[in-house]
Structure 1
Amino acid sequence: MMASLKEKLKNKLSNEDYQFLLQILDLPPSKVRGFIEDKVKEVLNYDSN
């Protein structure tokens, strides 16, 4: 089931979004929130520069 879900997501998402999602799926649950928060901070800092 997971393989078909990944295929569907790959077809619907941009490559960058898909790679981001794969990184999240590979993390242990305790690390997901911090990873997402760090990525959001990166984007906000990038946009402000």
Structure 2
Amino acid sequence: MISDPQAFTSTAACYARYRPHYLNAPFFLLTGRFPLADVRALDLGCGPGTAALS
């Protein structure tokens, strides 16, 4: 299988615009329950990494 790095270039803007966004409440709940000050975390979940970038 040959991978084309430009295969999804034309759809990237639509994907970013229309994909669902996360609410802030779950993140505040998790950070309040599990404080991670001065700690790095690795997100190994599936998906586009939206939560990791929030």
With normalisation by structure 1, the TM-score equals: 0.31
Based on CA coordinates, which of the two structures has the bigger radius of gyration? 2
Structure holding more helix per residue: 1
With normalisation by structure 2, the TM-score equals: 0.29
